Each structure stands twice: as structure tokens, then as C-alpha cells.
Amino acid sequence: MIFKSLIKPKETLTTLSENATLADALTTLEDSGYRCVPVLDPTGTIFRGNIYKMHLYRHKSRGGDMSLPVTALLKNATKFISINSSFYTVFFTIRDLPYIAVLDSENHFYGILTHNSLLKLLAEAWNVNKGSYVITVRVLDERGDLSTISKEITRYTQIVNVISLNPHGDETKEILFTLPADVDEGKLQKIIKRLKRRGFEVSEIESLHA
């Protein structure tokens, strides 16, 4: 479920009615400075899609009729999520968009979730401001690896955050552990030594002190 605090509600947004012309849309986008805005039905409750400044410029530069309704250049009409959507649904739907439209339980336009808001949430989850080091351990993704590594690290300290990635597209995985702020260089080296003794490859160490 999306945190409502991350959503910009409809009342705070610049939107356009589907009855607006392309000329109206271009004026609105130029005045607001946005590269795109949501287009709604005349009641302001149904999401119709997005209108992009670049598409308006392209249409105008080719001698296109700017008195046409804004619906002539609508994009992303099917790009929306429910306010109750899972995090994974949100993440994979928004990745190529500046924002994603959010609908309420009655499928009415509720607001938008911006790309920047989602990145901010991920940054906060990463606990960068509360960590000392991030150590990356490369594994073959065998059963029990995560449990074993976590057990070895917690001999010395708690784990602030952990995330598993597959950046190489092969059978290996990289598990990134964020250690708390009170971990110093000495304790870090003990952890690394312990992991290597157990046969784990520490492929990268990043200091968050800077």
C-alpha cells in the first residue's frame, strides 16, 4: 500500500479538463513550468491521461491545429495505480514516467505519486543518514546464505538495512548490508575478516561517513 503522505493530492495539482484545447494546454504548461500535467474529465474525477509539452511543441512545429481538443495528444491513459497498490506494482509502473496517477477505491483521480517521491522513500529506507558503512557480499544465491551472513555480522553489530541485487544477470547475487553509525573501522575489519573466513566474498565497502 502507498503511503498517502507521498501522494500529491488533486487539490494541489495543476490539471487540465479534457475539454481544453491544445493551445490551452500549451499555455498551462508554459506558465506552470511542468513538462506534463494530468488531464481529467469535466467533473475532475476521472483520469484521462497526461499531456506533454514536447508533444505539443512537436505538433505545433509541424503546423498542427492547436484548436483541437487536448485528447488528440493524450498519453499514458492506462498508466495509473490504485491507492491500495503494492510497492512492487508502483515501482515497476512508474519507472519510465515523471509521475504516476493514483486512483482511489472508487477509481476516481486522487492525485499523483512522483518519481522523486519514490526515490526519496528508497533513500530513507536505505538509512544513509543513520549508517556508517555499506558492505557488499557477493554470493552464489545458495540456500541459507543470507541467514549465515546476517548471523556473522550480528556477532558484532545490528544490521540497519539489507537489500539483495542481481546486477550481473547471472547466478550470483550481491547482498548489501548497511551497518549502524556506531560501527568504526576496527569493528568493520572484524566483520569482514569473519565473513572471509566463512568463505564469503566482500566485493565492496562504501563509507557513509562522508
Arithmetic mean of pLDDT, 96-118: 93
The stretch 150-156 carries a mean pLDDT of: 96
Q: What percent of the chain has pLDDT over 70?
A: 94
- Written in H, E and C, the secondary structure of 159-172 is CCEEEEECCCCCCC
Q: pLDDT at residue 177 above 90?
A: yes
Per-residue confidence (pLDDT) for residue 72, from 0 to 100: 97
In this prediction, residue 210 has a pLDDT band, given cuts at 50, 70 and 90, of low
Q: What's the whole-number mean pLDDT along residues 34-62? A: 97
pLDDT category at 84 given cuts 50, 70, 90 is confident
- Residue 189 CA to residue 26 CA, distance in Å, equals 58
Check whether 1 has a pLDDT greater than 60.
Answer: no
Residue 104: predicted pLDDT: 94
pLDDT at position 131, please? 83
Mean pLDDT of the chain: 91
Do residues 41 and 74 lie in contact, with contact meaning Cβ atoms separated by under 8 Å?
no
pTM: 0.72
> Looking at domain 4-120, which of 3.10.580.10, 1.10.10.1800, 3.40.50.300, 2.60.40.420 is its CATH number?
3.10.580.10
Strand partners, 199: none
Domain ranges of the chain: 4-120, 127-207
The pLDDT score that the predictor gives to residue 141 is: 78
> Which of 36-40, 63-67, 120-124, 185-189 is predicted with the least confidence, judged by mean pLDDT?
120-124
pLDDT at 55 over 90: yes
Q: Is the pLDDT of residue 2 over 70?
A: no
* H or E segment to which residue 25 belongs: helix 22-32
Superfamily (CATH H level) for 127-207: ACT domain (3.30.70.260)
pLDDT at 196 over 90: yes
Instruction: Give the pLDDT mean for 156-178.
Output: 86
At 24 the pLDDT is 97
